[in-house]
Amino acid sequence: MNLALTDPQAQARAEFAAFAAEHVAPLADAIDREERVPRSLIARLARAGYLASGLPSELGGGNADPVIHGLMHEVLGAASASVQGLVNVHHMAASSLIRWGTAAQKLRWLPRFASGELLAAFALTEPDVGSDGQVATRAVRAGDHDRLTGTKRWITGGALADVFVVFARGGDGPAAFIVPAETPGLTRTPIPGLLGCRGYMLASLQLDDCRIPVEDRIGAEGFGLSHVLATGLDHGRHNLAWSCVGQAQACLDASLRYADQRTQFGAPIASFQLIQRLLTQMIVGVHGARLLCWRAAQARSDRLPNALYETLIAKYHASTMLNDVADHALQIHGANGCGSDYPIQRYLRDARIMEIIEGSTQMLEIMIARLGATELVAPPAPRATGARTR
């Protein structure tokens, strides 16, 4: 067992950090305030290979190592949870296509996803459909097309994306479709005023008899949720777990700096034991969640049967840890943390979103408990000889 980044991983992390410090972090407050990520930043991310991360190298992708891909999301999350979120949904849409697209679909779409020519998003949620995924949007076959009608809501990147992976219910069950934003009948309405991650550029999508060629359906009808959606959500949870670690690290770094500089009762508040307790809880929380992310990424790299389970655990722990850490950061910063001179209030608002998306905390608790009860994820321990009593 060697719990450390390899040299290439550490080097990649340093490069991500340098990029984010120069190009992303300086914009984070403005992105939050103006509720939009500049298209120029998306273009810069694309040129630097961020949109291509995790995509097949033969189609223009990079960062095949899930650890390096995760490190990228960690660094982006630390710089701006909003920017990370837009990149995340792009990667979620791409992952569904990578896993379940035909060779022709991959060839047609993925190079354009990788280059950033097309920014993708993931359209599942509807006004009355959340965790249960039982989409009401209908897909009606008409010759060599499917006609999609319905409403999507809370779609991250919805106001900005060029193409969506849309989930709809067809005659033989749920299915996923590649839907360009300019498809006739598709209109989008931005949703402003979000609590946190205000640069997510959320939108409602209205699909009114949108004609989608059959060749743009991903996988077979009936498998849209169990396989195509499941793949995207699994990747999204992995990316978000890392992002939460990054966001928590940002809270911790800010708090360590502040506690050193802020003087009360004639001493830096870092010298007070109750502040030290808060800082210790933050440090240990970040440390533990980061290790869970490493473990999940390694399981994915090794294609272990427990990779999905490890990813659920990482996302669950990292997102709940983050909310504790952000809360501590605000407590340490006091009134300054509530004001606009410090990013703490943004961190706290962004953190709250992390427990809702890509599986709410409560949904993850159901899934982790169910999977944890199977021997699939935890091979039984060697049986002790002799009867056990309790």
Partner 1 sequence: MTQLSVKDAIKAFLHLHIRGVQVRDADDIFVMGLVSSLFAMQLVEFTETRFGIEIGPDDLLLDNFRSVNALSALVGRKTSAEGA
Active site amino acids: 358
b/e burial code for range 244-279 (CB count within 10 A of at least 16 → b): bbbbbbbbbebbbebbeebeeeeeebbeeeebeebb
Query: Min. distance of Cβ 144 from partner 1 in angstroms?
Result: 17
- Choices 122-130, 158-166, 202-210, 365-373 (CB under 8 A): range interacting with partner 1: 365-373
The count of C-alpha atoms lying within 13 angstroms of the C-alpha of 189, restricted to the half-sphere facing its C-beta, is 6
Residue type, 255: S
Beta carbon nearer to partner 1, 65 or 234? 234
Beta carbon nearer to partner 1, 101 or 158? 101
Which residues, in sequence order, are CB contacts of 281 under 8 Å at separation 6+? 324, 325, 328
The residue from 49, 61, 66, 101 that contacts partner 1 (CB under 8 A) is: 101
Beta carbon nearer to partner 1, 210 or 307? 307
- Choices 61-69, 73-81, 204-212, 302-310 (CB under 8 A): range interacting with partner 1: 302-310
d(C-alpha 73, C-alpha 115), whole Å:
18
Q: Are residues 286 and 249 in contact, defined by beta-carbon separation less than 8 angstroms?
A: yes
Q: What is the DSSP letter of 152?
A: E
375 binds partner 1 (CB under 8 A): yes
The structure tokens 């839907």 sit at 179
230 binds partner 1 (CB under 8 A): yes
220 binds partner 1 (CB under 8 A): yes
Query: Min. distance of Cβ 229 from partner 1 in angstroms?
Result: 8
Select from 57, 116, 55, 45 the least CA-distant residue to 83.
45
Query: Min. distance of Cβ 375 from partner 1 in angstroms?
Result: 4
Query: Min. distance of Cβ 90 from partner 1 in angstroms?
Result: 21
Which residues, in sequence order, are CB contacts of 39 under 8 Å at separation 6+? 160
Beta carbon nearer to partner 1, 74 or 310? 310
- Choices 159-167, 192-200, 324-332, 370-378 (CB under 8 A): range interacting with partner 1: 370-378
Select from 239, 258, 298 the least CA-distant residue to 84.
239
Beta carbon nearer to partner 1, 257 or 370? 370
d(C-alpha 220, C-alpha 384), whole Å:
47
Work out the widest C-alpha separation in the chain, in whole angstroms: 78
Query: Min. distance of Cβ 266 from partner 1 in angstroms?
Result: 56
The residue from 14, 195, 214, 376 that contacts partner 1 (CB under 8 A) is: 376
Q: Which parts of this chain interact with partner 1 (CB under 8 A)?
A: 100-102, 133, 218-220, 222-223, 225-227, 230-231, 234, 303, 305, 307-308, 367, 370-371, 373-376
